[in-house]
Amino acid sequence: MIVPVDCRFPHKGTLALAGSGEYLPPMEPVDRVLLAELGEPGRVVCLPTAAGTEGQDRLDYWMQLGEKHFKQLEVESVESLPVFTREHAFSVELVKKVEQANFVYLSGGKPSYLLECFTATPILETILRKLDTGGVVAGCSAGAMIFGERIPNRSFIGGTTTGLNLLPNHFVVPHFDEIPFILKFGIPQMVGHLTLLGIEANTVLHCRDNRFSVIGEGGITLGSGSNAIRYLAG
């Protein structure tokens, strides 16, 4: 179903924003759709950067899970890249590997840390160029939040900071069906004057050629309060 997101997204590549569930079985049908849009064999790189403060065990988990997931989807070329810090985002070798990919996946963690690592770096410039060359850029949870106009600050309490603003005037809220009821009362304060884009688990907001649609088993809520409407894939 088309989601009437009120902004332009003129890129010929695909931006896919997932609420949660990256690399897990329920997301296999979604990622098959995204891979099919490439029109050529997938060359996937997975970036666990958003989890860079969570320790090596957690980073290893995301790297191994990403590679396993895409191999199960019969993608011959898939590699998780050790981009854990801002310094890594300037690595000539790692940037070259991202350049050679046509599908970049940003997994979850902390959106503020992810932006601190990526802002004004060669690796972010390379990722965003995929959207102008017909590639796929997918982000889940924190990896989805950064594409809105603003993101939560480090503490997630009472403040926000600037996002990448590929979806101006919108605030991306992942895990929308998993947020405890009592915490949902704080969402309007966080979103402020922006329009809420609440993305549920195992669900993607698909952005391409100035069209926005739902892929996956859940829904996407656009707006807030009495003006909020939930859209489903069907």
Mean pLDDT of 58-74: 98
Residue 167 in contact with residue 148, Cβ under 8 Å? yes
Residue 14 in contact with residue 34, Cβ under 8 Å? yes
- Distance of alpha carbon 15 from alpha carbon 82, whole angstroms: 22
Residues 6+ apart with CB under 8 A from 45: 78, 79, 80, 81, 97, 98, 101, 103, 104, 105
Q: Convert the pLDDT of each residue in 185-197 to its tens digit.
A: 788 888 889 999 9
Question: May I ask the CATH class of domain 14-232?
Answer: alpha beta
Q: What is the mean pLDDT of the chain?
A: 95
Q: Convert the pLDDT of each residue in 15-64 to its tens digit.
A: 999 999 999 999 999 999 999 999 999 999 999 999 999 999 999 999 99
* Domain ranges across the chain: 14-232
Q: Specify burial of residue 75 (Cβ count, 10 A radius: 0-12, 13-18, 19+).
A: middle
